[in-house]
Structure 1
Amino acid sequence: MAVIVVATITPQPEHADAVREAVLTAIPQVHDEPGCQRYALHAGQDGRLVMIEQWESPEALAAHGKGEPFSALSRALEGKLAGAPELQVLTAVPAGDQAKGAI
């Protein structure tokens, strides 16, 4: 079953552009990782960046966390965030219309 991750990244205001660029640079590399079904960036009105991820399996998510794109992004963000990224790892609970009731 697919694993959904919501990762919220809060840049320090003076590093907002650098953080956004680092994440945008990582996205194509993550898209090429085995098991990546979705890795989509969203910007909040308060400056936070929210990544919505979908991984084929817990194993694919674990491999992502050990992979070079994730490591490179972590290095690029070092010292530029207001705190550690907030991560929520979720399992879908499909309901209603199959096309609309789950990611």
Structure 2
Amino acid sequence: MFILGNLIIALASILDIVFTIYTFIVIIAAIISWVNPDPYNPIVRFLYSVTEPLLRPIRRLLPLRLPVDISPLILLLIIYFLQRFLIPSLIELGYRIKGGII
């Protein structure tokens, strides 16, 4: 069972890295949205294509229409929660499957 435990621990570590990279992508997209970016710029198109699928549902769920878009902040809080809850839980599960103590 140690192989399955190591696999879960490795997946948790990779997921943590993915969450961290996505956090930076959301922050960069939010900062770029403050200026008037060229919509045909490949970097801007990449940032919007990566962030909009998660930001759009958050914007739809927000009851208030504020002059400032707070959906990136809410997405960052969700990512932070997942990093603090899901990643340690997966790592602990991996160690328990291995039969070790954290």
TM-score, normalised to structure 1, is: 0.28
Higher strand proportion: 1
Q: Which has the higher contact order (CA 8 A, sep 6+)?
A: 2
Larger relative helix fraction: 2
Larger radius of gyration, structure 1 or 2?
Answer: 2
TM-score, scaled to structure 2? 0.28
